[in-house]
Amino acid sequence: MFEFCLPAILGGKCIPSAALFGQLLIGLINGSFYALLSLGLAVIFGMLNIINFAHGAQYMLGAFTAYLLLQLTGLGYWPALVIAPIVVGITGIIVERTMLQWLYKLDHLYGLLLTFGIALILEGVVRNKYGSAGLPYTLPDSLRGGQNLGFMFLPNYRAWVIGASLVVCFGTWFIIERTRLGAYLRAATENPTLVRAFGINVPRMITLTYGFGVALAAFAGVMAAPIYNVSPQMGSELIIVVFAVVVIGGMGSILGAIFTGFGLGVIEGLTKVFFPEASNTVIFVIMAIVLLVRPAGLFGRRA
Amino acid sequence: MKRLFLGAAALAALVLVGGAQAQQPINVKIGIITDMSSLYADIAGPGSVAAARLAIADFKKLHPNVNVEILVGDHLNKPDVGTQLANQFIDVDKVDMLIDTPNSGVALAISQVAANKNVIYIVSGAAASDLTGPKCNANTIHWTYDTWMLANGTGSALVKTGGTSWFFLTSDYAFGHALERDTMAVVKASGGNVIGAVRHPLNTNDFSSFLLQAQASKAKVIGLANAGGDTINSIKQAAEFGIVAGGQSLAGLLVFASDVNALGLKTAQGLVLTESWYWDMNDANREWKKRWDAERKDPSKLPTMIHAGVYSAILHYLKAVVAEGGAKDGKTMVAKMKSMPTDDILFGKGTIDPNGRKRHPAYLLEVKKPDESKYPGDIYKVRATIPADQAFRPAKDSGCPLVN
């Protein structure tokens, strides 16, 4: 059997190449969560110039909504995958209409502080009601089991996660970069007054965009519910990493968010094999290096 | 922070009843330092406060002249916040005793404060066996459980039933290292061998990479030397990757009833673990749970061994207070408590070792299958009882300077 070894300078640890393939695939799967979450953040920042710190809490709300749908109405995973993003997206729209819309003209810091406050409140309220230990949510029966790929056992659910994430990510990219609606949106970001003069309702479009970004977070939350612990703090644990992903990719760059999300998932996965203790710092090391070399991020347009 | 005074009306009534006995009133202040708002709030937190109130209510039935006031502080899982709270409780609020403290890091820090200021400190929530090992002191009692007990219970039981080779997933901080060290020692002493271990950062979301390594190791048992959300995520994802279906078994080295609730029986079934108390084991415990429920006012929560430990510890402390004729300084109270045998409805009869280790039986439990569970909270089968003299580390092996 072939072995893959690190250079001696990095410790020289070896693993069988089959195991390496497995770890690469796992990294891609985790990367698809990063991509989904950073995509929402990038859309919101790119279109609204708001740093949405409530993104983690909205991801958590998505998972909790899925749990509540199951408990209260008996609706399982598949309906939740559609309903939870809509419900949480609507709460996002309410937040945008009542609070965020007054902050666009101010410094980024105000939006960041407001959304950070919202995140803390949401997390506190959910913890007060449901406790800190978490809630059970099991795999949908249709996605139980898995495939033996020879080099690893791939659970069906993970295969679904990577597929769904790819479709959603590139679908979003296509809408914003390649359709008429996306063109309006990008134009509205550049020059809202002019776009308004053409008879387009810019504030409504911005509101819907925020709602869409929030819905993406909730979608990721539902995807996470069967495999990660559904707890009030599930979002705050992830959000810092996702912010790093967005910064590395270039704030507001959609393609950047997607590629960096997947790429960093792979790098983190490899770190878990060779230097497990460093696995939650490696992304920040990369972020520091990228910021030194390319301050606008890998895919950022403006320097 | 909340000050919780017992109802004035109830006090007035007790004064009327107790007046005839003409006993000297004894006033005691207890500071509960716990996690009220974060990841350990369900295993300790508000449930510990409820348990403390029950202990005080029960004690007052026999000794109406003892008045107890409770103060509650939230340590936010930060040793500096915990230390500052302990100092404030001792210096400003003049508490006589500190208790609870889930989180070994915070507990080790407060234990130092208690020793410096000569106040009694009873740990019910934290796990690290170092509290009664090299870091023991004459002011600290470790009540409910510790890493040695967990390792010994689950580790030796699994080796005996064929789990001879182990791979560890270990949380990369003091508690995880202690649990891994104690369990490895037990596995080796029982004739098993350790194939490998991987250290993961605290609060890891995705364990699939670590689980693949564990799977590839072909070890018969995967020992989870972690806690809380990390344990829940490991078990949830192990089920997904077919680890148990593939013939390897999981050992949850620190699993609480609340964690099993979070996993659901479908995912957690068959998991073997060790605890020192389970609510559904006998009528006395079930009766106590009803009263705890009424006090806790949240039907979705289960009392944990930490809650039971807070109840039991406060009762024993108050007995010592009465025996001393009042709440004395920490070293005196700890010495008194060590000299008296313990006895309460939840843990039965027990003792306290010279190093501050409370000794009682422990139970090897197995999580039930969904169809075996008949009502909410019906989660464990008792596989074995480990008698008090074997459940905890012998004092002479602890490395504690108090033992000679």
Contact B209 A269 (CB under 8 A): yes
Q: Which among A22, A131, A138 is the nearest to B264, CB-wise?
A: A138
- The two tokens of residue A100 are 């965020």
Q: Which among B241, B246, B264 is the nearest to A155, CB-wise?
A: B241
Closest CA to A247 of A108, A45, A11: A45
Contact B201 A277 (CB under 8 A): yes
Residue B13 has pLDDT above 50, yes or no: no
Per the document, the length of chain B is 404
pLDDT of residue B147: 93
Per-residue pLDDT, averaged over B102-128, amounts to 95
Per-residue pLDDT, averaged over B140-167, amounts to 94
Using the Cβ of B241 and the Cβ atoms of chain A, whether some distance falls under 8 Å is answered with: yes
Q: What is the largest CA-CA distance in chain A?
A: 67
What is the enclosing helix (H) or strand (E) of B26? strand B26-34
Cβ atoms B240, B232 nearer than 8 A: no
pLDDT of residue A84: 97
Share of chain B above pLDDT 70, in %: 95
pLDDT of residue A2: 66
pLDDT of residue B244: 84
Sign of CA dihedral A211, A213, A216, A221: negative
CA distance B42 to chain A (A): 6
Per the document, the length of chain A is 303
Per-residue pLDDT, averaged over B101-126, amounts to 95
pLDDT of residue A1: 53
- Number of A:B CB contacts under 8 A? 120
Q: Which among B209, B240, B264 is the nearest to A23, CB-wise?
A: B209
Using the Cβ of B172 and the Cβ atoms of chain A, whether some distance falls under 8 Å is answered with: yes
- The two tokens of residue B341 are 């045998």
pLDDT of residue B18: 46
Residue B184 has pLDDT above 50, yes or no: yes
The DSSP code for B138 is: T
**A-chain residues within 8 Å CB-CB of B199?**
276-277
pLDDT of residue A190: 85
SS3 of residue B59 by DSSP? helix
Residue pLDDT, tens place only, B23-36: 789 999 999 999 99
Share of chain B above pLDDT 90, in %: 78
pLDDT of residue A21: 85
Residue pLDDT, tens place only, A246-265: 999 998 889 999 999 999 99
- Mean pLDDT per 10-residue segment, chain A (303 residues): 72 76 88 93 89 95 96 94 97 95 88 94 92 88 88 90 95 93 90 90 93 96 94 89 92 90 93 88 94 90 56
Cβ atoms B231, B252 nearer than 8 A: yes
CA distance B264 to chain A (A): 5
Higher pLDDT, B229 or B119: B119
Using the Cβ of A218 and the Cβ atoms of chain B, whether some distance falls under 8 Å is answered with: no
Residue ranges of domains in chain B: 2-145+281-360, 148-275+362-391
Residue pLDDT, tens place only, B369-398: 999 999 999 999 999 999 999 999 999 999
> Which residues 208-237 of B are in CB contact (within 8 Å) with A?
208-210, 212-213, 215-216, 228-229, 232-233, 236-237
pLDDT of residue B5: 44
**B-chain residues within 8 Å CB-CB of A234?**
205, 229
pLDDT of residue B205: 86
pLDDT of residue B323: 95
Determine the residue type at A59.
Y
CA distance A35 to chain B (A): 15
Higher pLDDT, B8 or A14: A14
Residue B20 has pLDDT above 90, yes or no: no
What is the enclosing helix (H) or strand (E) of A242? helix A234-249
> Which residues 183-202 of A are in CB contact (within 8 Å) with B?
none
Using the Cβ of A136 and the Cβ atoms of chain B, whether some distance falls under 8 Å is answered with: yes
Residue B368 has pLDDT above 90, yes or no: yes
Q: Which among A26, A127, A277 is the nearest to B37, CB-wise?
A: A127
Q: How far apart are CA B38 and CA B50, in angstroms?
A: 18
Cα A31–chain centre separation: 9
Contact B242 A29 (CB under 8 A): no
Cβ atoms B101, B33 nearer than 8 A: yes
What is the Cβ-side half-sphere exposure of residue A85, based on CA atoms within 13 angstroms? 23
- The two tokens of residue A200 are 């387009």
Q: Which among A29, A124, A132 is the nearest to B39, CB-wise?
A: A132
Cβ atoms B113, B82 nearer than 8 A: no
CATH superfamily entry for domain B2-145+281-360: Response regulator (3.40.50.2300)
Using the Cβ of A135 and the Cβ atoms of chain B, whether some distance falls under 8 Å is answered with: yes
> Which residues 12-41 of A are in CB contact (within 8 Å) with B?
16, 19, 22-23, 26-27, 29-30, 33
Residue B344 has pLDDT above 60, yes or no: yes
Q: What is the largest CA-CA distance in chain B?
A: 74
Contact B41 A233 (CB under 8 A): no
Cβ atoms B113, B87 nearer than 8 A: yes
Strands B165-171 and B193-200: what pairing?
A: parallel
Strands (E), B66-111: 66-74, 97-100
Beta carbons within 10 angstroms of residue B34's beta carbon: 32
Q: Does domain B148-275+362-391 have CATH number 3.40.50.2300?
A: yes
Residue pLDDT, tens place only, B55-78: 999 999 999 999 999 999 999 889
